[in-house]
Structure 1
Amino acid sequence: MPPPHIGFELSSKIFTLLTEWKVDKKIFSITLDNASSNDTCVEHLKSTLDVHGSLLCGGEFFHVRCSAHILNLIVQDGMKICGVAVCKIREGIKFLRKSESRMVKFKECFEDIEGLEYTTALCLDVPTRWNSLYAMLASAIPYKKAFEMYKVKEVGFREYCPSSYEWRRTEKICDFLLPFYETTKLMSGTSYPTSNLYFLQVWQIQLILMNSLKNDEVLIRNMGEKMMIKFKKYWEEYSVVLAFGAVLDLRFKLNTLIHCYNEIDPISAKDKVEHVKSKLYKLFEVYDQNFSTTVESSSQLSRNFSQATSSAIGTQLIKIVGVNNHHRFPTLSLMARDLLSIPVTTVASESAFSMDSHVLNKYRSRLLSDNVEAVICTRNWIRGYDDFEEDKDQEDIAKVEGYSSGVGSNDVIDLYEDEDEN
């Protein structure tokens, strides 16, 4: 849609499209990043849909925040104090990649180091992608001896070569960032990660940050403290609607939540589990009222629920969650379908619209908007994302090194542009 991209205009456009597509009565949730305009958009859209009776539970579970963007904001705060060694590695790689002769001389260093081979290329990080910083460090650490050897051959490289102490700190930083890197890859992947993956990922991140506060390395402790502040801002109370995904996943169910909450804080664990259970039962009752069928087992279930106490409802729901049989429990299967299909991130969908520079460029810039949409969508449906992501990585690296790439402003995992507005 044309500017301005303010909340009210976004809300009106989305509602128009939902109505046009005849799905305005079928919306369960919407996943957005943390831009302030999106918060305004959600409030307007939720009010509009609620007026038309289109939202369950008055839209209590409607707004889902993009987990990839939140994780990026958390890690960003830690990266601000990474230290001089990271800057040296970045500038050193830039120095080497500036000319082919430097890279040739650098590779010659491997001949003098027994057991060391140049098997993977040195990566250069991209400012808009924090996870590329991890990739850069991981590519450089195995070659630290070659860095030392090269600085003897090239005087101008000496200021870019980290000391032994700086290399050790960099290795610790890299080890610390690895779980965040893996989680970012999962959440920012193009396979549309859904709500059943959310809870355990956030729980794992919290455990890592809690342990980092007790780390022997001062730098890791400082990074952990910065990141924990941002974690508490967004994830201190895990999203309830996304916690439902873990309960409904047959591999996890409610016992997983109990274990995870106890690992974090045994004192508050019981209250947190009860909170999730009460919300889940509330949602189930709404589904049972709104989507009841003529199937005998469903009718019997409905009657049981209407007469049972809250605890009995909970017991029955927990039992049938573990049964994969939509014929026996059609209401529950509908609820599970909607909850488990909630995207935890907006990145996968954003990537489809990051192909603008592949469709519109200085040689082809007069396509009608409908034709542009058709080209982007059909390419995405037919070819997927893999080829596009590989091309995008190469363009981003070229852009960092100062070459003209014509890359668009939105990246597949372009997370630094997200707003931290609250």
Structure 2
Amino acid sequence: MSKHRRKRARRQSSPTSREAAASLSNEGSSTSAAPAPLSRKDAKILEFNERYDVENKSHEEVLAAQLENWSSDVYDHFIMPPGIITTKTRDGTITVQYVFVCKSHIGPSSTAPTLTRAHHDDSTSNLVRHVDICKPDDAVAPAGKAINDFAHGSTYSKALFRYLLSLWIACRHRPFSIIEDPELIRIFRMLYAQVEIPSASTISRDIQEIFTLSQAHIAKLLQDFPGRLHLGLDGWTLPNVLSFLGVTVHYIEGAQMRTFILDFVKLAENHTGNYLTQELAKCLKLYGIDKKILGITGDNASNNDTLMAELELLLGGYFSMLTHIRCLAHILNLIVKAILSLFIMRRVQASSESDTGEDDLELYELQEEDDLDSSLATREFNDDGEPVPQTDDDLEVDAAREEADAMIIEEIMAEVEASEGGHRANIRVAQFAITKLTQLAKRIFHSPAIREDLRMACELCQIKPKQMIRFVATRWNSVSQAISRALYLRPALDTLLALPKYDKNNKKSLRRFKPSPEEWIVLEQLEPVLEMFLVATELISHSSQPLLHVVIPIIDKLTAELENVIANNNLVQAVRLAATRGIKVLNKYYSATDESIMYRLAILLHPRYKMAYFKKQKWPQDWIDTATDLLRQQWVTYYKPKATELQVVAAAAAQASTSAPGLASSASASAHRINKLFAEDDFDNTGTTTTGPMDPLEQYLSTPPMSCGDPILYWSGMLGIPGQPENQFARMALDFLSAPATSTDVERAFSRGSLTVTKRRHALSDESVRAATVLSSWANIPDIIPEAHIVSVFKGKSRRPKGAGIVSDDVPAGVEVIEVD
């Protein structure tokens, strides 16, 4: 039994979690009675949460960290890693358990025993008891037996093996040459001595062939989809100077959002609007969906405006620039940049003004402080002060976008700087606050000794030890998180900077970066302003929820909040002036929503909003009439069924105006968060319910709003029985409500692409980059890759007679080579 005993990791020399828990429990004991001591179980859970940083890591990341400490050989008896199951209790608490599946009982004739264990429990007792009584279905296969002997019925297939190898390399961003690693080859031959391992060049060609075969299959799926499709666009330049236009496709199927990369379009010329239009049109025609596109989401670059206008002409009326969607995440980022522009002293201005005061010179010197290590200038660190793993994409900034953003900010600053002239002293205090915080965080991160001192200061102040967050240029809203963390750590920072070794009166001490009381007030008042943009960005950045219908409510909410900040005389002047800059950008893009029909129609087609939202926001009646007229135009032109079918659709619309059993209350997690943020946007069922005309749209508009958490679930339930003609009114609602509010999915695709094109793989061709990156996205969608057909094609090649072809790693590009046995 001793061989199964787990080797426990030696505890750190710092105070135990039990002691930390006690000190946390005693916090505030001077003003209230001491709370009851933690139970043994609660103390163990607290220790586990702290040790593995559960609050900031996913379940998979926590499990990966635990696996490094599981040294008992009892785990060899089970499939590793174990499965993860989560359960929500009545009080809303999420419990996490691991599922251990016995290796010895896997096969077609038996059910494998499973054991569960709480994720914080490191005991192996139950696992050991199972091993002691386990009776495998079959004895372990002797060495040299074929793979099917010990895999309980599975058979080796050269074609399937090649397919799975190619898929693994593409999806996990492995180099093609990994297939030639001697250790991996030994593993394959240990499992099956006659295994045929393809070469790296064969794997490269197989990935491209899988991509081509899947491309035809996906094209047919999209062509047969009964609704309209949406696109997300963004440009990307790789480290090896290849440029692509990333295109994602979005639609609703089975009440679920489907989002994946449609294609990576190679760009060989300057990214002008005309050139991007030509290349995008070719891509859409290649997939046969050029007549099915409804909305296109992209950033606010001027070439996207040109693209939308020219695409409307090129596609012959099947697309309208009135369905252009501006990426809300990019707009929110612009607003935050405008707000923060007040807190950053422009260096050109500082160095050119002849009457620069003493405070300005000091501020300028602080901003000129060089990084101690330029390679970490944009790194993010975790709570332990260690650099977070990053990809090439983390270090890469879209220069064209940044330049365009800077021009917009400059325009806003030119409008407001004249009115800010009388508040230079207040603005200077705010600039000192941000500059000091930036430099302080930088020095703490660069010094392990200071990080350790900060940890000890946290323990002295009886707060959970955490590290400061850097202001990362490539991460949106990082300033909000950095300020929040600094405010949390303020007692510990005061303690740290009071240490004699840091409290020196010279230009190299940390003391000069300590914010003054006035500067802390600026940070305290700025935090909630930035926090609401952070929350809004998180809400609209989920692939599973399109959220277009919340764009206007989010903008309205942010507008009201910024107006309150500007009017609040209790706030420091700098924060109010910063809010003024932010609202200038917000108003600029709020006006731009009038250029697209998508936002207003999404509001009208949400059963919870309809026209009542616009009325509550006090829109002029002619604006509301214009929105409903646009909706009628879309209905009549593209969706309204023939008169003989109208009665059935009208009945469904009438039901949609009252209730949808089982769907109206089934809001997703994201919907609940939105409802919480915009709780005041709930509408009463006021108004007159009428039988209405037979037209389904008029029937729908004539009834008051109703309770509806998730409009996608709601309208999906109204589509009708599968196999029968669809309810076209529900189809129209789903088409407009499924449009993405941001282009973040394209940016995520580029992040995956940067894992394929690393610093050591710059020689990859554009065909290889395209196939591997797109295939890795397709593999995440069930049944979208035609596995059986692809394996059949590979089998056909394997059956060709000897001598029908020769495999060569030096074949010129463009020449088809078929591998034979």
Report the TM-score when normalising by structure 2. 0.41
Displacement, 1:109?
1.8
Please, which of 345, 365, 368 is the counterpart of residue 762 of structure 2?
Answer: 365
After superposition, residues 265-344 of structure 1 pair within 5 angstroms as: 268-288=619-639, 292=642, 295=645, 297=647, 315-319=698-702, 324=715, 325-327=718-720, 330-344=727-741
1-side partners of 2:731 and 2:321: how far apart?
A: 18
Q: Does 1:195 align with 2:548?
A: yes
Q: Is the 8 A contact 1:297 1:329 kept in 2?
A: no
After superposition, residues 157-236 of structure 1 pair within 5 angstroms as: 157-191=510-544, 193-216=546-569, 217=571, 218-236=573-591
Displacement, 1:358?
1.2
SS of the residue corresponding to residue 201 of structure 1 reads helix
Q: Does 1:123 align with 2:469?
A: yes
1-side partners of 2:769 and 2:545: how far apart?
A: 23
Q: Does 1:18 align with 2:284?
A: yes
Deviations 1:205-228 (A, max 9, x none): 111122122122212210121111
2-side partners of 1:198 and 1:86: how far apart?
A: 30
Q: Does 1:243 align with 2:600?
A: yes
Q: Does 1:28 align with 2:294?
A: yes
Displacement, 1:134?
0.6
Deviations 1:119-147 (A, max 9, x none): x3321121133401111111111111111
Match of 2:451 in 1: 103
Match of 1:256 in 2: 613
Deviations 1:177-234 (A, max 9, x none): 1111111122334445331222221111111122122122212210121111112211
1-side partners of 2:614 and 2:297: how far apart?
A: 23
Q: Is the 8 A contact 1:292 1:331 kept in 2?
A: no
Deviations 1:77-114 (A, max 9, x none): 1111132212211110111111111111222223432x
Q: Is the 8 A contact 1:31 1:65 kept in 2?
A: yes
Bigger share in helix: 1
1-side partners of 2:650 and 2:476: how far apart?
A: 53
> Which structure 2 residue ranges, 5 or more long, are not aligned?
1-265, 344-429, 652-691, 707-713, 782-821
Match of 2:807 in 1: none
SS of the residue corresponding to residue 29 of structure 1 reads strand
Q: Percent identity between the aligned chains?
A: 25
When residues 296 and 236 of structure 1 are mapped into structure 2, their CA distance, relative to the original with a 3 A threshold, is closer
Q: Does 1:4 align with 2:350?
A: no
When residues 329 and 278 of structure 1 are mapped into structure 2, their CA distance, relative to the original with a 3 A threshold, is farther
Displacement, 1:370?
2.8
SS of the residue corresponding to residue 110 of structure 1 reads helix
SS of the residue corresponding to residue 567 of structure 2 reads coil
SS of the residue corresponding to residue 364 of structure 1 reads coil
Q: Is the 8 A contact 1:292 1:299 kept in 2?
A: no
Match of 1:86 in 2: 434
Partner AA of 2:332 in structure 1: L
Report the TM-score when normalising by structure 1. 0.78
Of 159-168 and 313-322, deviating more is 313-322
User: Larger Rg: 1 or 2?
Assistant: 2
2-side partners of 1:237 and 1:372: how far apart?
A: 36
Partner AA of 2:287 in structure 1: W
Match of 1:391 in 2: none
Displacement, 1:313?
8.3
When residues 17 and 298 of structure 1 are mapped into structure 2, their CA distance, relative to the original with a 3 A threshold, is farther
RMSD over aligned CA atoms reads 2.8
Displacement, 1:372?
1.8
Higher RCO (Cα < 8 Å, 6 or more apart)? 1
Q: Is the 8 A contact 2:329 2:540 kept in 1?
A: yes
Displacement, 1:346?
0.9
1-side partners of 2:439 and 2:322: how far apart?
A: 46
SS of the residue corresponding to residue 318 of structure 2 reads coil
Deviations 1:21-48 (A, max 9, x none): 0101111121111111111111111111
